Amino acid sequence: MNPRNIFLYLHIFALGYLRSRIGLFFSLVFPVILILLFGAIFSSSGSSAINIYVQNQDHNSPISQKFIAALNETGAFNVNIVSPSSGNLSTWLSNNGDTAGIVIPAGFAAQFMNHTPVRVTVYTDPAQGATAGTVQGVVQGVVNEFNLGGTPPVITVRSLNVGSTSFQYIDYLVPGLIGFTVLTSPMFATVNISSEFKKYKLFRQLSLTPLTRGEWLTAAIIWFIVLTAISTVLMVSIGELVYGAKVTLTLLAVPFLVLGPLFFVSLGLVAGSATNSPESAAVIGNLITFPMMFLSGTFFPVSMFPSWLQDVAFCLPLYYVIDGLNNAMVFGNVGRVLVDLTVIVVLAIVTFIAAIHLFKWREK
């Protein structure tokens, strides 16, 4: 394996890819559009009233009553009162299968009157991204009305998840869409390349140069790792800057950003080996890609799925990439990262070996 040959092909491949606007659009622009679109959808208000459970720990003070009335008047909520004696609201919501609640703390009125900062806690379930976004947005609106533009604001909002620490839908969406890029760019491009190169005899052409199959494959994998890295930086930046996502680019995420493209380039090559026709290759590529795209937790957490569909998701390689990225970038769950990584390592090795065997420069 000659690094110079790999670089030479990488250069030609990158030039061709960058000049093909369709490839570039689907690799970098389309995921950005998705994150902006989904982020906007799930951060904006819904159309029907949401059941919200308010725990007023301020002994029904007039100001707190006024705050609850203001929530009611928005028309966005069906406000339900939960007694302070019910204990922790997050636990109460979890136990009752409810997903949205507000705690008005003790001393709310006194602090408000004294212009001492006071914090209202909003509980939502990130799995119900649209609802969560609406609740947070509407509560913030009511709080702003109470603050009347005062600087600094007296009332602030703390968002927490029901029964867990503070995660928002966007926190799940960023790793999901990075996984989407890891899947789609290498898969679609490689399936297409492997059939078109055969049809137009480009593999045959390359076989008459000193470039080897291994060097070709390595260059393609490196290119998609680079694209994935660029896409990851874009996703994380947009998620953080536009929607305040709490995702961290840690070293734990790196193996998924390397092995993911390696696996899907190899899988694309295996799939493309099955046919010489670019049209058939596109069908095969779609059959493999689309179920993974929607069922692996790309747009919604797999935990939202019915159990039988969750079982299907667990069979999809992309699930382990996205779960790994979630655990590395959002939850910091090293144990789960290692489990996901083990699955991806095994799949990547097996598929890479299969691709090397099935992918031929020359014909018999």
Partner 1 sequence: MSNVIEVKRLIKDYGSLHAVNGIDLEVHKGEVFAFLGPNGAGKTTTVEILEGIRPRTSGSVDVLGIDPWHDGLKLIHKIGVIPQGFNFFEKITPAEAIRFYAGLFRKNTNVDELLKKVQLEDKAKDVFDSLSGGQKQKMGLALSMVNDPEILFLDEPTSGLDPQARRAIWDVIRSLKAEGKTVFLTTHYLEEAQILADRVAIIDLGKIIVTGTPSEIIQEHGHREVLRIEAPPAMAEYLRSHLDLQVDVRDSTVEVEIRVKEDVLRVLNVAETSGIPWEGVTTHMETLEDVFIRMVGKMDEGTVAGEGKKGGAPLGK
What is the CB neighbour count within 10 angstroms for residue 266? 27
Among 201, 226, 233, 357, binds partner 1 (CB under 8 A): 201
Q: Which stretch binds partner 1 (CB under 8 A): 5-13, 88-96, 128-136, 260-268?
A: 5-13
Binding test (CB under 8 A) with partner 1, winner from 1, 148, 208, 251: 208
Q: Does 8 bind partner 1 (CB under 8 A)?
A: yes
Distance CA 70, CA 217 (A): 62
Q: How far is the CB of 194 from partner 1 (least distance, A)?
A: 14
Q: What is the Cα 138 distance to its own chain's centre?
A: 24
Distance spanning both ends of the chain, measured CA to CA: 24
Residue 217: phi, psi to the nearest 5? -65, -40
Question: Which of 274, 258, 259 is closest to 359 using CA atoms?
Answer: 274
> Is there binding between residue 3 and partner 1 (CB under 8 A)?
no
- Only one of the segments 33-41, 68-76, 202-210, 345-353 lies at the binding site for partner 1 (rule: CB under 8 A); that segment is 202-210
Select 357 or 360, whichever has its Cβ closest to partner 1. Answer: 360
Nearest 10 degrees: Cα torsion 304, 308, 311, 316: -80
Q: Binding to partner 1 by residue 247, rule CB under 8 A? A: no
Q: What residues are paired with 102 via a beta bridge?
A: 54, 122
Is residue 4 near partner 1 by the rule CB under 8 A?
A: yes
The region that residue 97 occupies, defined by phi over 0 for left and psi between -120 and 50 for alpha, beta otherwise, is: left
Residues 16-45 that bind partner 1 (CB under 8 A): 16, 19-20
Selected binder of partner 1 within 3, 12, 36, 226 (CB under 8 A): 12
Residue (of 302, 328, 329, 301) closest to 315 by Cα position: 302
Residue 30's φ and ψ, nearest 5 degrees, are: -60, -50
The smaller minimum CB distance to partner 1, of residues 211 and 222, is found at 211
Q: Is 5 in the site for partner 1 (CB under 8 A)?
A: yes
- The yes or no reply on residue 364 touching partner 1 (CB under 8 A) is yes
What is the per-residue binding string for partner 1 in 327-356, x denoting contact by CB under 8 A? ------------------------------
Side-chain-side CA neighbours of residue 105 (13 Å): 15
Tokens coding 273: 């080996």
**277 in contact with partner 1 (CB under 8 A):** no
142-181 footprint of partner 1 as x/- string (CB under 8 A): ----------------------------------------
Q: Is 194 in the site for partner 1 (CB under 8 A)?
A: no
Minimum Å gap between C-beta 3 and partner 1 is 12
Least distance between partner 1 and beta carbon 275 (Å) = 17
Chain position carrying tokens 């212009």: 115
Closest to partner 1 by CB, 14 vs 106, is: 14
1 is an interface residue for partner 1 by CB under 8 A: no
Determine if 75 is a binding residue for partner 1 (CB under 8 A): no
Tell me the DSSP string of 286-347.
HHHHHHHHHHSSSSS-GGGS-HHHHHHHHTSHHHHHHHHHHIIIII--HHHHHHHHHHHHHH
Q: What residue type is assigned to position 220 of the chain?
A: A
Kindly provide the b/e burial profile for residues 222-236, where b requires at least 16 CB atoms within 10 angstroms of the residue's own CB: bbbbebbbebbebbb
Q: Is 211 or 235 the residue whose CB approaches partner 1 more closely?
A: 211
Contact 211, 5 (CB under 8 A): yes
Q: Take residue 355 and report the two structure tokens written for it.
A: 């691709």
Applying CB under 8 A, among 87, 150, 210, 332 the residue interacting with partner 1 is: 210
Q: Please give the residue ranges that form the binding site for partner 1 (CB under 8 A).
A: 4-5, 8-9, 11-13, 15-16, 19-20, 200-202, 204-205, 207-211, 361-364
